[in-house]
A and B are shown apart, each in its own frame.
Chain A
Amino acid sequence: MTASEQDFLNNPLGTKTTLEDVLDAFEFLDDWEERYAYIIDLGKQLPSFPDDARTEENYVHGCQSQVWLIHYFDEASGKLYLLIDSDAMIVRGLAAIILVALNGKAPRELLTTDIDELFEQLDLFRHISPTRGNGLRAMVGKIRDIAAAEAA
């Protein structure tokens, strides 16, 4: 299966599911179990990832789980669309949060979004901190590189 333009545009994360939705939901989550159950659910919203895109070029070098990332820049709207895949459920959920914040945005707008601040707000900063080798930081770095290239 190869990713079509439509696969990118249909990604609900950052379009149908907004950052406000996620922030609101977090307000009502009492303990870590509820928070992670929600994160795992968000991960299940990641659209299926095309098999033929699991290439070295699209691989995000993290530490433990495997992460792939592809993008599509929609010239008509000037917006950048992303698809992410991982074999670890929590990484999928955290990637979904990143997509909710960054997917379907104009590259320049994307570059002004502070993911560290968002993760701090959600009390998930440790997952994206430089000491945690789970690839999330590399994932965000790769997205920002793509946005910078498109914005240039």
Chain B
Amino acid sequence: MTDLSVANTANQPAFDVDSIRRDFPILSQQVNGKPLVYLDNGASAQKPAAVLDAMDRYYREMHSNVHRGAHTLGDRATAAFEGARETVRSFLNAESTREIIWTRGTTEAINLVANGLAPRLRAGDEILVTHMEHHANIVPWQMVAERTGAKVVPIQVTPAGELDLDSFHSLLNDRTRVLALTHVSNVLGTVNPVMELVGEAKKRGVLTLLDGAQAVPHYQPDVQALDCDFYVFSSHKLFGPTGIGVLYGKAELLEAMPPYQGGGEMIERVSFERTTWNVLPYKFEAGTPAIAEAVGLGAAIDYLGRLDRQAMEAAESALLARANDLVATVPGMEIIGTAAKKVPVMSFKIAGLHPSDIGTLLDQQGIAIRTGHHCAMPLMDFYGVPGTARASFAFYNTLDEVEQLFTALQKIQRLFA
């Protein structure tokens, strides 16, 4: 704990957003002649210099292949790579690094689990998902269902964008084998009562997977407290590099699952008579892994660890509260997703405007948001919209940026009026 930024926090305001913004080099640029206002964090978050530096330093000073061990660089690379795994373990409060599998991202992690559980699924078995899932937590299950004869069943959502718990209770039955559920909705920002749902599922011996892609940028999950069987997330939404993500799985389940891909690293011994698998976590990590990316993700988690989590959550809540207060200033604007518990994600529509009109004209004003179906077409159908405009905030966004968004929306609304 020699880092000065930690030592100094006692003398500083709880959460100094101006100083935090200086940690993110990309934020201080102009777009279309206006200062960039980046509100597309739900799609991908920006990276602090600590991450960029860690990856740069890795390539300059220690790059080599990992676990090959015959020389000093190999040792350094392996130490950095496995150090990052320990950082992720600690972030999730997993029991062991054996339970931390590197993947390419959330999508690959879910595909890995779906494939790994396929041998347990029989015709008529049910996989419970929700109506608010990202396609990444629907399609892999549909593919496995097609192979096994199992069925993917969605839990309904209320108009406010919360999970319909009656629907959950009525759908959870003796045929349910898996509950695969998003921790936080990428479209609505809804924080689902995952603890309660996982608890109910476990009572019936149902395996549980939580998609944490949208949760980890805002909360630090404790997988042992959640008691879920699998928890998955992507690095790039957690202020780390693209191309890497994490699958946490309970060791006994991972042990029982077949490997996902075959190749180097994942084997213990190969012969044409009999090939045996490597131990966890390597059994699921065929081929040379994304080493620099793992190091970058470790650096992102370390960076977050130096921030005051509580102050960060309070600052994010303030952003969302300010945004909610300003909705009334834009005629015809309506929020989609008004759950009681939300991360700072605001999907909306404006009467008479297509989301792509909104996105184009915000971009013109230097403001980046996401428009479209957000890879959640079933949810778009539920709300009867072709897509939404979505502003998703991170802790480095400011109240002033929220106000700029609304000033820009007022302008757009006038332009079309």
Which residues of A approach B to under 8 Å, CB–CB?
Answer: 32-33, 36-37, 40, 63-66, 87-91, 127, 134
Contact = CB atoms under 8 A, between A and B. Distances in A.
Contacts of A127: 360
A37 B355 CA distance: 17
Q: Which 7 A-B pairs have the closest CB atoms?
A: A88-B354, A64-B356, A88-B356, A32-B364, A65-B356, A64-B372, A90-B357
Contacts of A40: 415-416
A91 B353 CA distance: 12
B332 interface: no
A70 B387 CA distance: 25
B415 A64 contact: no
Interface residues of B, number: 18
Given A88-B354, A89-B354, A91-B356, A64 B387 contact: yes
A64 B416 contact: no
Given A32-B364, A65-B386, A91-B356, 6 more contacts: A36-B415, A63-B372, A64-B356, A88-B354, A88-B356, A90-B354
Contacts of A32: 32, 364-365
Nearest to A64: B356
A65 B364 CA distance: 18
B364 A87 contact: no
Contacts of B364: 32, 36
Contacts of A89: 353-354, 357, 416
A65 B32 CA distance: 23
Nearest to B372: A64
Contacts of A87: 354, 386
17 contacts: A32-B364, A32-B365, A36-B361, A37-B415, A40-B416, A63-B372, A64-B356, A64-B371, A65-B354, A65-B356, A66-B386, A88-B356, A89-B357, A90-B361, A91-B356, A127-B360, A134-B356
Given A37-B415, A64-B387, A88 B357 contact: yes
B21 interface: no
B309 interface: no
Contacts of A65: 354, 356, 386
A33 B387 CA distance: 24
B361 A64 contact: no
Interface in B60-94: none
Contacts of B372: 63-64
Contacts of A90: 354, 356-357, 360-361
A55 B411 CA distance: 35
Interface in B352-391: 353-357, 359-361, 364-365, 371-372, 386-387
Nearest to B359: A64
A88 B352 CA distance: 9
B386 A33 contact: no
Contacts of B356: 64-65, 88, 90-91, 134
Which of A64, A65, A127 has most chain B Cβ within 10 Å? A64
Nearest to A127: B360
Contacts of B371: 64
Contacts of B360: 90, 127, 134
Contacts of B357: 88-91
Contacts of A37: 415
A64 B411 contact: no
Contacts of B353: 89
Interface string B374-417: 00000000000011000000000000000000000001000110
A66 B386 CA distance: 9
Which of B32, B354, B411 has most chain A Cβ within 10 Å? B354
B297 to A, nearest CB: 27
Nearest to A34: B415
B185 to A, nearest CB: 20
A47 to B, nearest CB: 19
Interface string B343-359: 00000000001111101
Contacts of B415: 33, 36-37, 40
A127 B359 CA distance: 12
A65 B357 CA distance: 9
A32 B363 CA distance: 11
Contact of B411 (A33, A63, A66): A33
A123 B386 CA distance: 28
A134 B365 CA distance: 19
Nearest to B361: A36
A89 B356 CA distance: 9
Contacts of A66: 386
A32 B367 CA distance: 14
Nearest to B363: A126
A91 B386 CA distance: 15
A35 to B, nearest CB: 9
A40 B414 CA distance: 12
Contacts of B361: 36, 90
Contacts of A36: 361, 364, 415
Interface string B165-179: 000000000000000
